Amino acid sequence: MAFVLRRPMAITTCIKQLPKATQTTSRAFHSSPKPSTCPTKSVTPITVFTKSRNAFQQSFRRTYMQPGGQIARPDTGSMAQRLLYGAGIVGGTVIATNFMFNRETREDGGMPPYERAFLNETFMHTGLGVGIIGVAASALHRSGWSYRLMTTNPWVVMGVGLAASIGTMYGTFATSPDNYVQKYALWGGFNLCQAAILSPLMFMQPAILARAGLYTVAMMGSIAFVGATAKQEKYLYLGGPLLAGVAIVAVSGFAPLVLPVTAARTLMWTERVWLYGGLAVFGGFTLYDTQKILHHARLANAGMVKKDVVNESISLELDFLNIFIRMVQILGMRNQRK
């Protein structure tokens, strides 16, 4: 059930904050409307869909946080500085992570060609899967799926979403790589399930989504580089501790659905555990999954297991989605504090 706990919980928390139906204002029986001589303008009523969108955009700001006093205006003149800043973050992260965690490099003369090919194919399928999720989520959002999802019971969304995701995921795992038609069909169904659940993220600003994607790629790229160049099976022992960590992160993700709003301090700490603890846990999973992929490449080269890059890519997709969702929430909170 490790993959069940690795499902992101941000969407159900956002959906739970759906506003109640508007109540019509009633006029007292002794008051009478006064005739107006001025022409009145037609007012467009606020629909449930509009309120759903506003509720999702405000869901990344908890009630115990004080809203910012002024609305920050984007500075269009510093785009080049932001690009240089992002490039510096990517390069610095790769160098610092490699220096801190990769002091003991491989002693077998580097990565063999079959390991490199296996790893490249796995990352290619990971990028393809993330691209399918992004394109499908955008298409579903434009078709109105996000609005209908926001008006649905969050527990129903979570239950049906988990059932569909886990069913297609384990169906992909159980299908032999020789039966590539069924395997890729199930893998595509898994990606579509993720897109259907994550489509409300399209309510966020495109700049926030782009920055979150850049930071996620930088984080996963640097950690995967460490795992690929480290000694063989050096970080495979992290599987047990990471499962314990993801269990704690998953429990903290359920806190807003269970705890009352008055428990502000507890909600604040559970949110920090879910955000920053989740980044650390799924960053560790990226390192673990990279070395597990190389281990399976050696087994496949020895003829002990079949080569199956689709199964390996699903683990990296889950790592990417969990890190990306937390990056979006962190950037959204920072944007509201300005």
The tokens for 226 are 């460490």
Give the best-scoring range by mean pLDDT among 5-9, 36-40, 71-75, 255-259: 255-259
Rounded CA-CA distance 88/217 in Å is: 14
**Could you list the residue range(s) of the whole structural domain that residue 310 is in?**
2-6+88-337
Are 212 and 324 spatial neighbours (Cβ–Cβ below 8 Å)? yes
Query: Above pLDDT 70, what percent of the chain?
Result: 67
Q: Confirm whether 24 is domain-assigned.
A: no
Low-confidence winner among 25-29, 185-189, 190-194, 211-215 (lowest mean pLDDT): 25-29
Query: Above pLDDT 90, what percent of the chain?
Result: 34
Instruction: Report whether pLDDT(150) > 50.
Output: yes
Q: What is the pLDDT of residue 58?
A: 55
Q: Confirm whether 269 is domain-assigned.
A: yes
Confidence of residue 338 (pLDDT cuts 50, 70, 90): low
Find, among 2, 338, 336, the residue nearest to 169 by Cα.
2
Instruction: Report whether pLDDT(121) > 90.
Output: yes
Q: What is the pLDDT of residue 76?
A: 46
Rounded CA-CA distance 100/98 in Å is: 6
Instruction: Report whether pLDDT(127) > 80.
Output: yes
Instruction: Report whether pLDDT(16) > 70.
Output: no
Are 192 and 167 spatial neighbours (Cβ–Cβ below 8 Å)? no
CA distances to 9, 93, 222, 281 from 89, in Å: 27, 6, 11, 21
Confidence of residue 5 (pLDDT cuts 50, 70, 90): very low
DSSP structure class, residue 233: T
Confidence of residue 60 (pLDDT cuts 50, 70, 90): very low
Q: What is the pLDDT of residue 310?
A: 95
More confident of the two residues 48 and 193: 193
Confidence of residue 2 (pLDDT cuts 50, 70, 90): very low
Instruction: Report whether pLDDT(107) > 50.
Output: yes
Q: Confirm whether 329 is domain-assigned.
A: yes
Find, among 175, 210, 169, the residue nearest to 191 by Cα.
169
Instruction: Report whether pLDDT(273) > 70.
Output: yes
Structural domain count of the chain: 1
Segment 149-166 mean pLDDT: 84
The set of residues, in sequence order, having a beta carbon less than 8 Å from that of 74 and lying 6+ positions away, is: 207
Instruction: Report whether pLDDT(175) > 70.
Output: yes
Q: What is the pLDDT of residue 261?
A: 67
The tokens for 182 are 């069924």
Rounded CA-CA distance 271/282 in Å is: 16
Confidence of residue 124 (pLDDT cuts 50, 70, 90): very high
Q: Confirm whether 281 is domain-assigned.
A: yes
Rounded CA-CA distance 225/122 in Å is: 14
Q: Confirm whether 234 is domain-assigned.
A: yes
Q: Confirm whether 164 is domain-assigned.
A: yes
Q: Confirm whether 36 is domain-assigned.
A: no
The set of residues, in sequence order, having a beta carbon less than 8 Å from that of 208 and lying 6+ positions away, is: 328, 331, 332, 335
| H, E, C per residue of the chain | CHHHHCCCCHHHHHHHCCCCCCCCCCCCCCCCCCCCCCCCCCCCCCCHHHHHHHHHHCCCCCCCCCCCCCCCCCCHHHHHHHHHHHHHHHHHHHHHHHHHHCCCECCCCCCCHHHHHHHHHHHHHHHHHHHHHHHHHHHHHHCCHHHHHHCCCHHHHHHHHHHHHHHHHHHHHHCCCCCHHHHHHHHHHHHHHHHHHHHHHHHCCHHHHHHHHHHHHHHHHHHHHHHHHECCCCCHHHHHHHHHHHHHHHHHHHHHHHCCCCCHHHHHHHHHHHHHHHHHHHHHHHHHHHHHHHHHHHHHHCCCCCCCHHHHHHHHHHHHHHHHHHHHHHHHHHHHHC
More confident of the two residues 336 and 313: 313
Are 314 and 305 spatial neighbours (Cβ–Cβ below 8 Å)? no
| H, E, C per residue of 5-23 | HCCCCHHHHHHHCCCCCCC
Q: Confirm whether 66 is domain-assigned.
A: no
| The length of the chain, given as a count of residues | 338
Predicted model pTM: 0.68
